[in-house]
A and B are shown apart, each in its own frame.
Chain A
Amino acid sequence: MSDPREIWARLAGLTPARIGLGRAGSGLPTREVLRFGLDHAQARDAVHAPMDAEALAGSIAALGFATIPVASQAPDRATYLRRPDLGRRLDAADMSKLQAAAEPSDLALVVADGLSARAVHENAAPLLKAFKPLAEQSGWRLTPVVIASQARVALGDAIGEALKARAVAVLIGERPGLSSPDSLGIYLTFGPQIGRSDAERNCISNVRAAGLTHEKAAFKLHWLLARALTLVLSGVTLKDESDRALESGAAAPALPEPERR
């Protein structure tokens, strides 16, 4: 029989789980304690690092988007973590600002810090860059990109409603896992209005360098929005079959002319 250490090295390649770590007495070897500590530190930093809304606005503006900064009613991170309800409500002055800027549009784009500003810093602009030509090709009218601080997913409902958009896509930092502190989620909701339930959204998750690529995520978002605008709904009844379209190399489904209101 071969050396157990060789067997464990091979088995460890079969799963991302932390197996075959060895032990020191009943404890972990030092390198594993330190590795875990570093991974947890990165996940913690991702939760607590503030979003740099200005720098983000700069890089998004460079792609040719107008931007509008807004905040939820959660005044700081500690409150945000304890009071998810406040993170779903839009600051009153920002609400008026958005209502004043409202023009009928097909999609409101929201970039929200959520639980990982790092995910937003690293993935929001590249995702928007990949999505922009697809949206232009479909002739969709987009709102300025709203950059939302201390935001939960449902804040997009208030934003989309205020902007009079037919749908809203919230690009938000996901709850960081120990091995994925940088994961962006995209939540698409047709007919955004305050009080929508999570069952009325479609989600694209794990958007990051080591996960779903920006190009694939943009393709999925385009595919889902095209379906949502056609079916006039989103959520559990809109099944994501974009993988098949992606595999077959097909473009997004044929679209009706964008509706003009």
Chain B
Amino acid sequence: MAYRHVVGPRTHVFADLATLMAKATPVRSGDRLAGIAAESAEENAAARWCLAEVPLADILARPLIPYEQDDVTGLILDTHDAGAFKDIAHLTVGDFREFLLTATPDVLTRIAPGVTPEIAAAVSKIMRNQDLISVARKARVVTRFRNTIGLPGTLAVRLQPNHPTDDPKGITAAILDGLTLGCGDAVIGINPASDSVQALGDLLQLLDGVIQKHAIPTQACVLTHVTTTLAAMERGLPVDLVFQSIAGTEKANAGFGVTLALLKEVHEAALALKRGPLGDNCMYFETGQGSALSADAHHGIDQQTLEARAYAVARSFRPLLVNTVVGFIGPEYLYDGKEIIRAGLEDHFCGKLMGVPLGVDVCYTNHAEADQDDMDTLLTLLGAAGCTYIMGIPGADDVMLNYQSTSFHDSLYLREVLGLKRAPEFEAWLHGIGLTDESGALLPGSGAPLLAAAPDLAA
């Protein structure tokens, strides 16, 4: 079905819903690369007028990729909660924006299972950055494993102690650095340089040893392919969280070497370990705009809508953590700081609206038109938006993956200016060690109490 919008003497025609959504998207390099972006500023604006008039029920009724052709579409429709959708079924996209701006947190929680990724993406396209922030801030998603993530007024940090050769001493030193700067409540998560099961086992045991020995209320993860993690579980290695990169189409997921059935298998295996004393949210997913296009699996759909579809995949496995690696993929998908900032806010909003515990890897590569100032801006906006967690990397420089993200210090800055607390169990642990005061602020002294309490880590 074609969509039309008249602007003065011109009639803008959009052949179908996918085209309309692509043309309505704030322009970015990845959609241009795919040849689906708006070709003029007026066309972009006209598409938003037109999209605002589309009923949510129509979006639900017109899958962008046919049900029979794509198992992500199948998942979205099969798991759609018609009861939760009832409250918003009568709205257009434009009405929905206003509904969201006036909704209470409880209402947002209630409708979340009725919000499909296409509905979330559509409304985000007609929202300004401030809308994305104020609505996301109200949409809280709380998850639990060895601590509680996502409570109002909190922000968690993934401690990312990567090392170019997985050297255990180098990794341990970076973990100690992060802990002394009050980071690590979301997860201590390593991207390994090696993908062998042997190397994975060594790292899992290292992390488990640190967490058990010092009774740190957090969880561990080594970010490797699910099949490798499955092999590790079969060998009895200590796996807290199962990691996987996912995307918004069946074909793009195939490019990552995963199917929904495989994810289900590994999820069940992780649940059976029952390692989380406070809850059983045991999956960790990463996503990012552009992954489907780079796998030649985008079906003519814009990259932001495809990204939201990845959250539908994540949602069905009740993850502890999901993050968009927003600026990692490069300038052919998100060209500069402005595009990265917009994408980070869109992704966070869509995830939260759908009930997914979304964090953001606020990051960039050296060939993107971006720098630390852009990251400070996005970081601050995400803090205001109630982002679930951010990355904590020594000095913001990941020496294994060769990109810049957020640092341990960046999280301290955000806590200070916005008054954000850590996961309560982790906050209490830091205070017990003597690293923080009553308010959670770090005490001076270069981490001396932890160095004294954990001489093994500083060995």
Give me the interface of A with B, judged by CB distance under 8 Å.
1, 4-5, 7-8, 11-12, 14-23, 25-28, 32, 36-37, 39-40, 43-44, 46-47, 81-85, 115, 175-181
B295 within 8 A of A: no
B225 CB to closest chain A CB (Å) equals: 16
Q: Is the CB of B173 within 8 A of A18?
A: no
- B367 — which chain A residues lie within 8 A by C-beta? 47, 81, 115, 175-176
Contact indicator A175/B402 (Cβ below 8 Å): yes
Q: Which residues of A contact B164 (CB under 8 A)?
A: 16
Interface range on chain B: under 10, 10 to 19, 20 to 34, or 35 or more? Answer: 35 or more
Within 8 Å CB of A26, what residues of B?
409, 412-413, 415-416
**Chain A residues closer than 8 Å to B176, beta-carbon distance:** 11, 19
Q: Is the CB of B366 within 8 A of A47?
A: yes
Interface positions of B from 55 to 94, Cβ below 8 Å from A? none
What residues of B have a CB within 8 angstroms of the CB of A1 in the complex?
448, 451-452
- Cβ < 8 Å to A, chain B residues 110-136: none
Show 18 A/B contacts (Cβ-Cβ < 8 Å), sorted by A: A4-B448, A7-B451, A11-B173, A15-B394, A17-B162, A17-B170, A17-B395, A17-B397, A19-B177, A26-B416, A36-B397, A39-B397, A40-B371, A82-B32, A82-B331, A85-B33, A176-B367, A177-B399
Other than A14-B170, A26-B412, give 20 A-B pairs with Cβ distance below 8 A: A11-B173, A11-B177, A12-B173, A15-B163, A16-B170, A19-B174, A23-B412, A26-B409, A28-B395, A36-B372, A40-B372, A40-B404, A81-B367, A82-B29, A82-B33, A175-B365, A175-B366, A175-B402, A176-B367, A178-B366
Residues of B within 8 A of A11 (CB): 173, 176-177, 458
Residues A179 and B415 in contact in the complex (CB < 8 Å), given A4-B445, A40-B371: no
Q: Cβ of A19: which chain B residues have Cβ within 8 Å of it?
A: 173-174, 176-177, 394-395
Q: A177-B402, A180-B402 are in contact. Are A17 and B413 (CB under 8 A)?
A: no
- The residue that B397 contacts in the complex, of A18, A27, A82, A84, with Cβ under 8 A, is A18
Whether the Cβ atoms of B366 and A14 lie closer than 8 Å is no
Q: Is there an interface contact between B331 and A81, defined as CB atoms closer than 8 Å?
A: yes
**What is the CB-to-nearest-CB distance from B339 to chain A, in angstroms, rounded to a whole number?**
11
B residues with CB within 8 A of A: 29, 32-33, 161-164, 167, 169-174, 176-177, 181, 331-332, 335, 365-367, 371-372, 393-397, 399, 402-404, 407, 409, 412-413, 415-416, 442, 445-448, 451-452, 458
Q: Which chain A residue lies CB-closest to B448? A: A4
Task: Give the tally of cross-chain contacts (CB within 8 A).
Answer: 129
Q: Distance (Å) between the CB of B408 and the closest chain A CB? A: 9
* Contact partners of B412 in chain A: CB under 8 A: 23, 26-27
A181 to B395, CA, bound (A): 18
Measured in the bound complex, the distance between the Cα atoms of B409 and A65 in whole Å is 51
Question: Which chain B residue has the least Cβ–Cβ distance from A22?
Answer: B446
Closest CB pairs A-B (n = 8) = A18-B395, A15-B170, A177-B402, A26-B412, A4-B446, A19-B177, A43-B366, A11-B173
Q: Are A36 and B33 in contact (CB under 8 A)?
A: no
**CA separation between A229 and B458, bound complex, in Å?**
50
Q: Which of A8, A32, A44 contacts B366 (CB 8 A)?
A: A44
Asked whether, in the complex, the Cβ of B332 is within 8 Å of the Cβ of A81, the reply is yes
- A40–B369 CA distance with the chains assembled, in angstroms: 12
Hey, which chain A residues are within 8 Å of B174, CB to CB? 15, 17, 19
Within 8 Å by CB of A36, from B332, B393, B396, lies B396
Partner of B173, one of A14, A82, A179: A14
Across the two chains, which residue of chain A brings its CB closest to B173? A11
- Say whether A16 contacts B447, CB under 8 Å: no
CB neighbours (8 Å) of B416 from chain A are 25-26
Closest to A87 in B: B332
CA distance A20 to B446 in the complex (A): 8
**Given A4-B445, A176-B366, A178-B404, are A81 and B371 neighbors across the interface (CB < 8 Å)?**
no
